[in-house]
């Protein structure tokens, strides 16, 4: 546990007021509270400022300043909170398979967490964009696993030792999310992947605006100029945004992300024409 981590401030920020014990019920409650409070977003990357992953910086950004982040940030924050609560946490890394053809190889660019509990091992992950898990799942393969939102399942990856694929059910179909092993990762591993994700010109986080946050009865996502609100029934309402001010208003209203006039000019405006062009195609 980091001496820099302020558990009281973190729990106050996510609105958790329950007991502070390393139990399954507490894990579920904290995971759910963070997932609904802390948005997934890449504004720091679009500002050409690679995120800093030390816990003091993350607590300042997310807890004190009310911002969000992507997986390396929000899951590192969750891991530190679980450490402080006395959980046995192992930090892992995955290869994203979401919306990726089977023949396209991907690097390890996603952070997730393994939690050892008396009930058995669980996986926690509060940082995967528009399909972020809202609760931990037991580490059990080949069975449907319930979360507060969509069901998940874990499959062993054929031909790979101790490697697993997380899938999500959308409608009546299973879709791959990422593959991972149980090899513990170090801070250096995350620094390398974070640098690539935040600076490589082909990284989606460098090219596109992404924000996402679940609510109890829906998921809200912003991808470039498309604001999507999808209910639990799968029905989606998509609103096309046309101006910097409309995007900034959507970020404020739906994700509690408030940009200054200067941030609108430096983060959003340079990309707007490209994002509108992509949305139109």
Catalytic residue, chosen from 6, 13, 31, 71, is: 71
What's the sign of the alpha-carbon dihedral 138, 38, 203, 249? Answer: positive
Two structure tokens written together for 196: 């690539």
Tokens of 56: 């003091």
- The alpha carbon of 35 is separated from its chain's Cα centroid by a whole number of angstroms, namely 8
Q: Which of 114, 125, 254, 271 is catalytic?
A: 125
Question: Is 83 a residue of the active site?
Answer: no
Each residue of 170-201: b (16+ CB within 10 Å) or e? eeeebebbbbbbeeebeeebbeebbebbbeee
Q: What is the CA radius of gyration of the chain?
A: 18
Which tokens in the block code for residue 268?
A: 């959003």
Task: Given the residues 13, 31, 110, 114, select the one marked as catalytic.
Answer: 110
Give the CB-side neighbour count of residue 17, counting CA atoms within 13 A. Answer: 1
Tell me the DSSP string of 181-233. Answer: E-----HHHHHHHHHHHHH-TT-HHHHS-EEEEEETTEEEEEETTEEEEEETT
Q: Is 273 a catalytic residue?
A: no
Active site members: 71, 110, 125
């Amino acid at each position: 546990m980091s001496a820099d981590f302020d558990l009281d401030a973190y729990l106050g920020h996510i609105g958790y007021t329950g007991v502070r014990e390393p139990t399954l019920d507490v894990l579920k409650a904290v995971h759910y509270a963070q997932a609904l409070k802390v948005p997934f977003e890449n504004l720091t990357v679009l500002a050409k400022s690679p995120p800093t992953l030390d816990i003091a910086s993350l607590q300042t950004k997310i807890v004190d300043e009310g911002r969000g982040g992507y997986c390396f940030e929000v899951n590192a924050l969750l891991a530190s909170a679980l450490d402080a609560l006395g959980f046995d946490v192992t930090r892992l890394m995955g290869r994203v398979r979401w919306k990726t053809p089977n023949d396209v190889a991907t690097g390890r660019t996603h952070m997730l967490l393994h939690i050892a509990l008396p009930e058995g091992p669980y996986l926690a992950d509060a940082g995967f964009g528009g399909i972020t898990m809202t609760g931990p799942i037991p580490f059990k393969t080949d069975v449907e696993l319930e979360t507060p939102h969509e069901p998940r399942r874990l499959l062993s990856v054929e031909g790979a030792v101790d490697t697993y694929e997380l899938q999500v059910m959308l409608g009546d179909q299973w879709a791959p999310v990422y593959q991972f092993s149980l090899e513990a990762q170090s801070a250096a591993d995350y620094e390398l992947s974070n640098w690539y994700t935040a600076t490589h010109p082909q990284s989606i986080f460098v090219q596109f605006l992404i924000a996402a946050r679940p609510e109890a009865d829906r998921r809200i996502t912003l991808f470039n100029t498309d604001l999507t609100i999808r209910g639990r029934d799968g029905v989606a309402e998509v609103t096309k945004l046309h101006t910097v001010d409309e995007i900034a208003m959507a970020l404020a209203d739906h994700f509690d992300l408030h940009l200054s006039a200067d941030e609108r000019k430096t983060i959003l405006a340079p990309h707007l024409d490209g994002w509108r062009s992509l949305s139109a195609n």
